[in-house]
Amino acid sequence: MPISLETERLRLYPPRIADLEARLAMDRDPDVMRFLLRATPEDIDPHRADIRRKILALASPAHVFWHVEEKDAPGFIGCCGVFPLEDSGMIEIGYRFVRRVWGRGFATEAAVAALDHGFKHIGLARIVAVTDPRNLASQRVLQKIGLRPAGMAFHYGRDVKMFECRRASNLAARLGSA
């Protein structure tokens, strides 16, 4: 059953069709999509259909994808989730936010909640992330939430920088720093 999460400032909720156009607007922003490994197709209609299908089909316990809003200012500001990394057998964490909210710590806050959900509720032993090597902001987020560099890999048709963390070490590190 789809669940919602709350952090200090954010609500992570199951994607809703009402967000579709706000999500598409984010995905059409070249600054948001600059380093993303899956580009938004030029033809937006198939992309709209794809997002719509994914919103309606989110069911697998190891595929959790939330839309995010500020508790104090409801309305779509981004997305975050844990989901299969292609057909690698690994689960990745991913996120993106509309440009106007960058730099306020929201990606970090949402990603911590997603990571905890993956480890504590889904029971994952390891979560990875892949980024464009030039995407330093995303790599900083990954570092802040406790993922460590794990070399280069090839995913989504290109060379990517991989990060990883294991349940025990991640929870212990963050409990230790609390």
Ligand X SMILES: CC(C)(COP(=O)(O)OP(=O)(O)OC[C@H]1O[C@@H](n2cnc3c(N)ncnc32)[C@H](O)[C@@H]1OP(=O)(O)O)[C@@H](O)C(=O)NCCC(=O)NCCS
What is the amino acid identity at position 15? P
When the beta carbons of 65 and 106 are compared against ligand X, the nearer one is: 106
Residue 34 tokens read as 């600059």
Residues that bind ligand X (CB under 6 A): 32, 35-36, 94-97, 102-108, 131, 135-138, 140-141
When the beta carbons of 124 and 162 are compared against ligand X, the nearer one is: 162
SS3 37: coil
Smallest distance, ligand X to C-beta of residue 104, A: 6
Smallest distance, ligand X to C-beta of residue 49, A: 22
Residue 138 tokens read as 């995303």
Smallest distance, ligand X to C-beta of residue 46, A: 21
Smallest distance, ligand X to C-beta of residue 100, A: 11
Angle between the N-to-C axes of helices 106-116 and 136-144, in degrees from 0 to 180, rounded to the nearest 10? 50
When the beta carbons of 59 and 73 are compared against ligand X, the nearer one is: 73
SS3 65: strand
What is the amino acid identity at position 16? R
